[in-house]
Structure formats: structure tokens, C-alpha cells
Copies of this chain bind each other. A is one copy, B any other.
């Protein structure tokens, strides 16, 4: 395995797909995998985590910083550009072990004149404000180069422009561009230092940026290189003056130098892989796709801030408003919980910090407690609009109910926090606001629920479950189960809080119309659809089985416009049993201890052919439940589909006329889940780790680390045995359940259990 993905030619058609595929990032910012000569036309972007802006009445979305890597190079007056010049050799590659992007292009100018441009860039994992680019040139003949490099403030915006009052300056050969965001007047500062010493240069102020022009006369077949050190700061970073901070950061980087910076960057990456790498023996394609998926998670994980979570398209641009969805809790959190719990804590604390937005949303709809945003930005106010898709037949905005009715988001959040607490035993998450979030979510559901006097049960009506093709349904099995879990968690969390922070406990109780007694009553009497006796099927929601039971090919044959939305008021799927994504099956995964093998198998078999997988969140769930019922070969294609989504770029790009491209962190998390929780069959409940492997036939073994309650284990699973190697201190022994028997792992002692 060389941990490298690579393009061997240049194809204009793949510019956008490759910009996602070859992304770099560090959780503070993402830098799309564009080439140096590109600009906003090719969707070049330095997307900032947690910085949002709204221009006029357009959609609120993340801010792209000015592009400090903007570089145009001319040789004898002709630009070295893949877009216009003759390219005779081109590679673009990503070392995803170290997060280093490299391109190498040879241009032909005259029959006997070729010029090669090689660049290497990384988004420093050790210095989060820093982007570094090394640029190297070689001509086979003596030539005159003009290099125009600097900071481009004319950035790609979907709903912009977001940057205003651009201010360029040059101090001691460091270029700087400051700008203000439109809505909230945040300052965005970019500084660029360069180590060019070999020739003359001058700075070139420009309406939308600041550049320097370097004249360079080269000799034949000699290499010339220089480095750019670009620092990005915003006024949200807690520094006194972000312009000064950017200046200082770029200058310090210049002093430190490229090689030292690269080394410290690589060191951080080695540590990331040390706690997370999963080795698949026997399947190179799966191995590469899985590691690449984990790479995508690493570059967007907010290791540095508990005010950030991970947007649905990571830091790959402004798609989906840079908003945080349930994707985080349901599809990404497990990876971090099992490998980097500190990041998991940040993700969950983001929900604590956005609780007020969720309270406002609940109040807006007339409920108590906290109704978390379907599309959450920095304040927790819901960025989701009421009209999310345009009808392709009329061009009119279509009313959708993502914002209003996907109430399970509050349950997902409560579940996520409780998972973190269960996995880590870290009480502080509860006293730091986690218990309050859970309590507020439970209160929300109490106010949302209705009591059916005839059937003597609470019901959850008028919701949209994970299958968004069926909006506004009653008693969605997934949602009801999640609501019940939330109420249950809330009762437990309050007990815990009572012990750990009694004043806070008292305050929460006093401030609530809803009583503990009411929640106990709801907990005991909430309806959760159970499997039908004969068929074992669980009905996705009330009367789902009365809908037209059409096959997926038949449904697809009714499509009149390839971009038409299958859900919504008149959607083709709406009146049928075709679902967008795992719904009952997701429930069977989340509540795997509650359902028996036969039920899981019956429902998988029933729902699988009816699932369109119109969401990238679907396949990994089908993979996991398939492994759970001992059918890894059913699971394998779903795993592969999930794991390769950002490698192939073949995901859905449009819904209606809305562009939804970018990277897919939920699927990336899903690839890890399918492997470790699915094929390896790991399931930690806070007390013991169950391991129930079910490997695809071509896999010889899987090896992966688990970091549980502060203790690191290396686990190897093959068809014969499970081997557990504890690493470091193990003061708090954790039991492993293998073959339905418990095994304790002692410090320094490898445990090997043969599979029966």
C-alpha cells in the first residue's frame, strides 16, 4: 500500500470531481484540490470552518477565505496553465497518509521546448492557520518566467459575495489581504510570505487581491523552487488582531522553513493514523477506499474547538450551506468515539453551545425544550429553508418539511451526547451542558407527543423520518424508538446530574413545566411499532404498507426528468413504498440489542429492494445490518459503494436544480462503521466490547485500534480468531465479549480467542 491516489492525465471534465477528491484540510480550513492556475471559475476555495455569512436574502453559507495560493506562471509570455497550454504530461496526487497534495505538469511550448511545473502543498496539521505550497519549475531550455503569485480575494461563492472592504497591504515583503464579511462584519485576514531570494520581485496591488510579480531567467534543465507560507485568521479566532496574527504566523513559518514545517505536519498525521488506521488484509481496493475515507474525516475534524462540528459536505465548499446535520451524530461520531474521543467531545459540545438556537426553534413552533436545527450553523438557528428544492417541471420552489418535521434530530443529538458519556465515562460532558441538552430534547418530545386515549399510549405524529421521500407521517418506527431512547436517557441523565451537580439539577427541574413524572409516564407508554407476528416486518410508519408496492426499476421508469425530486408533494416515491434511505434498517442497527436475528433478516430482505439509496447515508447502514445477520457478502457491495463515494465522484450531483456535490463525511464515517462495527462486529456499550466478526470472503483479516475509556487496544480479527493487544496503561479493565463469552484483557497481555 502506498497511501497515494493519483490522476495520470488532465481532464477538464473532472476538474470539479478532482477538487473534492484531492482536498486537503485541517479542521480549521479546507482547501479544495484545484491546481495553482485555477481561480473561482474552477471552484478554488479555502473554506473556513464555522464562519458563516448571509448576503442579502440568499442562503446563509460558510465563508471562503481569499486564496493565498493563487499563482500564475508565464514562460516567455505564455501561461503554464492546464486550461490553455499544451499538456504533455500531468499527474495530480494525494498522499493521504500525510495529507500532502502534489501536482506535476509538463507543458509543451514549441516542438522542442517543454517546461515542468511541480507543486506540493499541505494544510498544516500542526499549525492550523497555515497553508504551505512549494513550487518548482524546470525548463529544458533557458527561458524567462514571470510568476504572478499572491492572494486572490475574488473567491468562489454560491450565494455571495460575502467578502467586502478588501484591503491589500505589503509589509516587509509579506502580502496581506483583509476583508470583512457582509452580514456580521467578521474580519478575514490572509498573509503570504515567500522565500524567493533568487530574483527580482515587485508587489502588484489589485482590485480583488494583492500579488507579487517575480521575474526569473532560468537556465536549461535547472530546477528552481520557492515556497509560499500562507496564514489565515479570522476575528472569531480569539486573537487580538487577526491581521497582525496572520502576518506573524506567515513570517514565523517562513523562518521555520518548509522542511521543518512538513516534518511537524507529518508527525501529527502519524499520530492520527496510530489511533485510527484500519488494516484490511486481502482486499486492496477496500483498504485504499477505507483509508481514504478516514483521511477525509481527519482533514475536517475539529480537534481544536468545541464550537465546531462537521458540515454535511465537510470543508469542501459551501454546498448544503456548510450546515451540520444529523450526519455528525449518526454517521461520523462513532469513528471519533472509538478512536479520538476528544474530537467526539468537541462535536457534542457544539450541540451544547447551540442549545439556545434549538430552544428558539422549539418555541417558534410552539413546543417546549429544544428542537435542534436540521441545518445548523454557528448559532444553532436553523439554516434550513421551507422550500429546499425547485420543481423541475415548473421551476417553482417546492415546500419540503426537512426543517419542520425531522424532529428526530433532537433525539439524535441526545443520543450522541449519551453515547459520548457512555463510551468515555466523562461526567463533565453532562455537567458542562450535556445533561441540559438531553433534558431539553426530552421536554421537546413531551410537548410534541400526543396521547391516544383509546389506545392508551403516546404517539409521535406528523414527522419525517430518515426516509425523506415520505414526509409528515405518523409513528415512524425509527423516530418513535429514538424519542423513547431520548426520554429514557433524560431520566438517566437527570439522575447522574443530581449526583454530580445538584444545583444545576434543581434549576433544570424548577425551570420546566414538564415533570419527571410525566417523562416517566411517557417512557412507559410511548408507542414503538413492533414487528408483525407472522412476517416479522416492522412498518416504517402508520399505513406505510398500504402504499403502492412498486419495484424500484418500475418507479425509475416513470421518471420524466433525471433531476426530478422523488419526494415532496407530488414526488414519484411519495405514494409508494420506495424509500430514500435506510429507515427501519437504521433503527435495527441503532437498537441492535432489541431485535432478534430473524426480525433483522426479514426486514433487511423486505426493505432492501425498496430502497433507492438517494442519500449517501444509506448504504453503510444496509452493510452493517447485513453483517449483523451474518451476511457479509450482502454487505460488501454496500460497503464499497460507501467507501468509494469520494474516490469515484459518482454520487448524486443535483436534486431538482440544486447542486449538492462535494465530499461526503457521513459516508466516510459509514465506511469505517461498516468495517469496524460491521465486518469486525465491534459493539461497545460502555461496559463491554462485543466482537462478532463477519468478514467478506476475500478479506483475510482486519486490524484496528480502539481507544476506550482512555485505553488503547489493537484488535485483529480473522476468520479463525480475535486477537486483542492492550497498549499502554490499563487501569480500568474492559471486558470483551467474543463467542458470547466474556474475556478480561490484562495490561501487557495479548488475548487470543478462537472463533467457534
Contact = CB atoms under 8 A, between A and B. Distances in A.
A569 interface: yes
29 contacts: A365-B543, A366-B543, A368-B454, A386-B575, A387-B575, A393-B393, A393-B394, A394-B570, A396-B572, A399-B570, A399-B574, A399-B575, A446-B453, A446-B454, A450-B450, A450-B452, A450-B453, A450-B459, A451-B451, A451-B452, A454-B513, A454-B514, A461-B461, A462-B462, A568-B570, A569-B570, A569-B571, A569-B574, A570-B570
A510 interface: no
Interface in A384-441: 386-387, 391, 393-394, 396, 398-399
A518 interface: yes
Interface string A163-186: 000000000000000000000000
A474 B463 CA distance: 13
Contacts of A462: 461-462, 474
**Interface SS, A side:** loop
Q: Which 5 A-B pairs have the closest CB atoms?
A: A569-B569, A450-B450, A393-B393, A451-B451, A569-B570
A217 to B, nearest CB: 64
A578 B433 CA distance: 44
Contacts of A571: 569
Interface in A557-571: 558, 560, 568-571
Contacts of A305: none
A449 B574 CA distance: 25
A476 to B, nearest CB: 14
Interface string A483-514: 00000000000000000000000000000011
Copies in the complex: 2
A361 to B, nearest CB: 13
Contacts of A449: 453
Contacts of A458: 453
A212 interface: no
A398 B570 contact: yes
A274 to B, nearest CB: 51
A574 B401 CA distance: 13
B453 A518 contact: yes
A447 interface: yes
Contacts of A396: 558, 570, 572
Contacts of A454: 368, 446-447, 513-514
Contacts of A575: 386-387, 399
Contact of A391 (B446, B452, B461, B570): B570
A518 B451 CA distance: 14
Contacts of A447: 454
A365 B542 CA distance: 10
A312 to B, nearest CB: 25
A472 interface: yes
Interface in A43-95: none
Interface string A367-397: 0100000000000000000110001011010
A543 B462 CA distance: 14
Interface residues of A, number: 39
A398 B560 CA distance: 15
Contacts of A398: 570
Given A393-B394, A454-B514, 10 more contacts: A366-B542, A396-B558, A399-B575, A450-B450, A450-B451, A450-B452, A453-B518, A568-B570, A569-B570, A569-B574
Residue among A452, A474, A514, A518 with the highest chain B CB neighbour number at 10 A: A452
A515 to B, nearest CB: 11
A686 B440 CA distance: 53
Nearest to A365: B543
A394 B569 CA distance: 13
A442 to B, nearest CB: 13
Nearest to A364: B546
Contacts of A446: 453-454
Interface in A317-373: 365-366, 368
Contacts of A558: 396
Contacts of A518: 453
B451 A453 contact: yes
A447 to B, nearest CB: 5
Contacts of A393: 393-394
Interface string A524-561: 00000000000000000011000000000000001010
A38 B127 CA distance: 90
A568 B574 CA distance: 13
Contacts of A366: 542-543
Nearest to A542: B366
A560 B394 contact: yes
Nearest to A398: B570
Nearest to A518: B453
A586 B474 CA distance: 29
A279 to B, nearest CB: 50
A393 B564 CA distance: 13
Contacts of A391: 570
A365 B546 CA distance: 10
Contacts of A543: 365-366
Nearest to A443: B454
Nearest to A387: B575
A453 to B, nearest CB: 5
Interface string A560-599: 1000000011111011000000000000000000000000
Nearest to A404: B543
A583 B451 CA distance: 28
Contacts of A560: 394
A581 to B, nearest CB: 21
A449 B393 CA distance: 38
Contacts of A472: 472
Contacts of A451: 450-453
A452 B446 CA distance: 10
A572 B399 CA distance: 10
Contacts of A399: 570, 574-575
Contacts of A572: 396
Nearest to A564: B394
Nearest to A452: B450
